[in-house]
Chain A
Amino acid sequence: MKNFNLRDFGADIWERSNRPVRVAIVIVVIGLVAMMPYAGAGFLATPIAAYDAVIVYPVAIFVLMSLGLNIVVGKSGMLDLGYVAFFAIGAYTMGFLGIHTSLNTWEIMPIGIGLAMLAGVMLGLPTLRLRGDYLAIVTLGFGEIIRIVALNVSWTNGPNGISGIPMPPDIGPLKFRLDDQKVFFWVVLAMILMTIWMIRRLSVRRPGRAWEAIRQDEDAAELMGVPTLKYKIWSFTLGAAVGGAAGVLYGSKNLFVAPEMFTLNVSILILACVVFGGIGNIWGVIVGGVILGYLPDRIRFISDARLLVFGLVLVVVMNFRPDGLLPRKKREKALVKKGANS
């Protein structure tokens, strides 16, 4: 009984490789993904919206945000329905500082990330004692509060939003241009790679174990000496940091931010990417972000029916693969290696 399983297939190749081969695999994969902006001519082309813009936003930004939300929802099992708030904080930081100061995108980036993390801690400290549904409700409220504040205070220009946000300065020969967004894609890709690196690093060490334990049984974790509140706040804050970074990039790419971009829908959609792709599994989440980011633009030619089709795809896939496309499942290495069976 040997059924093909993509995860085991990939993991087997990985485990059989030595270090140079692994490095080569990583470089080739990153290289191929970096070529994505050139693949827009054929089947992948998106009608109406420009392909090179679509793969920056929504696709790459969605992937980045899904990875960030996955730290919160997938790793430590806290349902966050207000993730858009951190995205909004990043985007507004970029917008406000971009037009009022001479700071450029790269200088604003750490500030945006810092503010998002600060918001994460401030929201996390009082609310992360809550669990499950209660936490979901509070975070949902937080997401809406940020949007409504942006809509009503004067320094955000209220409903008119902030326009005229500067593009990032060129990096050597790599130029940011409105009609050619390759460089943007590469920047977001770099952020995605850093996020993957961060998650993979943390997953196999103490914080990853703490999150995993919290997700599976918070009380047992606490009684086994895991400072659960501390690690929940860390998880929340790291998720916020990634969301903030995505927001800064988005603001700088879009040149315009307004409250209506940061509705509950975005939180739900990013959560859908995580769940659709495979909650808790980095590769699943990436696939989810790519598909849910890309699909609506690919099928734009059917205009009004596209959201219907989009919804149908979600329902059908979740029916056949309730744990997502690439579910989290750990392999039992001993079974493979020692051939033990009991």
Chain B
Amino acid sequence: MSKTLLKLENLTMKFGGVTALNEVNLEVKEGEILALIGPNGAGKTTVFNVITGVYQATSGSVLFDGHNLVGRKRFQITGLGVARTFQNIRLFGDMTTLENVITATDVHKKSGLVGSLFGTPRARREERENRTKALEILEFIGIDEYSDRLAKNLPYGVQRRLEIARAMGTTPKLLLLDEPAAGFNPQEKVELATTIKKVRDAGYTVLLIEHDMSLIMGISDRVAVLDFGTKIADDSPTVVQNDPRVIEAYLGVPADAS
């Protein structure tokens, strides 16, 4: 059994009187693709926001690679090795594709403002390293032909892929993908599934929010289901697919049963 990379323990998130997450326990193992599914409003994106420090959990803890992430600043969490994409694309539109990724690669670099200003050897070396690494990532994701295009002018599908590439720029151990296939046609979804598998095979651990069942069943090692902020299932895709509670959450209870 591979080791646990991320562990959510009794994670509760309340917004005023609304309980968005209720005592959620979740483990992500190193090197797996874990899909997080659930009906709209189930709290999936909230889980991402708590992990990445956008929200401070009301109670419970987020253990990642030996660190408790609760209470840490967002950029520090990224520095520890958690990166995410956004459900609504949030690229730096006025930057080129390459610059978007380079901006993310900066997180592990030491040189600051003074070094950059005077062009110290370290700053120059780090600039070169960033560039090389960013180009490698773009090639890996398969969007290197767009590297000098402004992000806002890219086709939609490329923007979605750039979101993943930018997140990979931070050298994460854990990659959180928030509906990466939203708005994709079936063909694009197939391509994306291949990409995500490729990302996993390259050594990244993936936690994925997605609505498209065929995509999830095709690539995930495990599926966790949230409903109204509570985890109702957590097992292999086939088991989850046939779990009556999951079917109920998605489709409701049959009329004759109630």
Show the binding face of A for B, using Cβ within 8 Å. Answer: 198, 201-202, 205-210, 212-213, 216-217, 219-228, 231, 234, 328, 330, 332-335, 337, 340, 342
Are B116 and A205 in contact, CB atoms less than 8 angstroms apart?
Answer: yes
Q: How far is the CA of A149 from the CA of B144 in the complex (A)?
A: 56
30 contacting pairs across A/B (C-beta < 8 A): A201-B116, A201-B117, A205-B116, A205-B127, A207-B116, A208-B116, A209-B95, A209-B106, A212-B95, A212-B103, A216-B95, A217-B91, A219-B54, A220-B86, A221-B103, A222-B73, A223-B52, A224-B83, A225-B78, A225-B108, A225-B170, A227-B73, A231-B113, A330-B96, A330-B150, A332-B148, A332-B150, A335-B148, A335-B149, A337-B148
Q: Known contacts A201-B117, A222-B75; decide if A216 and B94 are in contact (CB<8 Å).
A: yes
Are B153 and A332 in contact, CB atoms less than 8 angstroms apart?
Answer: yes
Q: Which listed residue, A205, A217, A342, touches B92 by the CB 8 Å rule? A: A217
Q: How far is the CA of A209 from the CA of B151 in the complex (A)?
A: 14
Minimum CB–CB distance from B144 to chain A (whole Å) comes to 11
Minimum CB–CB distance from B255 to chain A (whole Å) comes to 44
- Chain B residues with Cβ below 8 Å from A234 are 113
- Chain B residues with Cβ below 8 Å from A342 are 155
Is B147 among interface residues, defined by CB-CB distance under 8 A?
Answer: yes
Minimum CB–CB distance from B213 to chain A (whole Å) comes to 28
- Chain B residues with Cβ below 8 Å from A333 are 148
Is B180 among interface residues, defined by CB-CB distance under 8 A?
Answer: no
How many A-B Cβ pairs are below 8 Å? Answer: 111
Are A334 and B149 in contact, CB atoms less than 8 angstroms apart?
Answer: yes
Is B29 among interface residues, defined by CB-CB distance under 8 A?
Answer: no
Of residues 39 to 96 in B, which have CB atoms within 8 Å of A's CB atoms? 52, 54, 73-75, 78-79, 83-84, 86, 90-96
Are A223 and B147 in contact, CB atoms less than 8 angstroms apart?
Answer: no
- Chain A residues with Cβ below 8 Å from B169 are 224
Show the binding face of B for A, using Cβ within 8 Å. Answer: 52, 54, 73-75, 78-79, 83-84, 86, 90-96, 99, 102-104, 106-109, 111-113, 116-117, 119, 123, 126-127, 145-150, 153, 155, 166-167, 169-170
Are A224 and B78 in contact, CB atoms less than 8 angstroms apart?
Answer: yes
Closest 3 CB pairs of A and B: A225-B107, A334-B148, A225-B78
Are A209 and B103 in contact, CB atoms less than 8 angstroms apart?
Answer: yes
Q: How far is the CA of A205 from the CA of B125 in the complex (A)?
A: 12
Q: How far is the CA of A225 from the CA of B94 in the complex (A)?
A: 19
Are A205 and B123 in contact, CB atoms less than 8 angstroms apart?
Answer: yes
Q: How far is the CA of A219 from the CA of B55 in the complex (A)?
A: 12
- Chain B residues with Cβ below 8 Å from A334 are 146-149
- Chain A residues with Cβ below 8 Å from B109 are 206
Are A212 and B54 in contact, CB atoms less than 8 angstroms apart?
Answer: no
Task: Using CB atoms, name the residue of chain A closest to B171.
Answer: A225
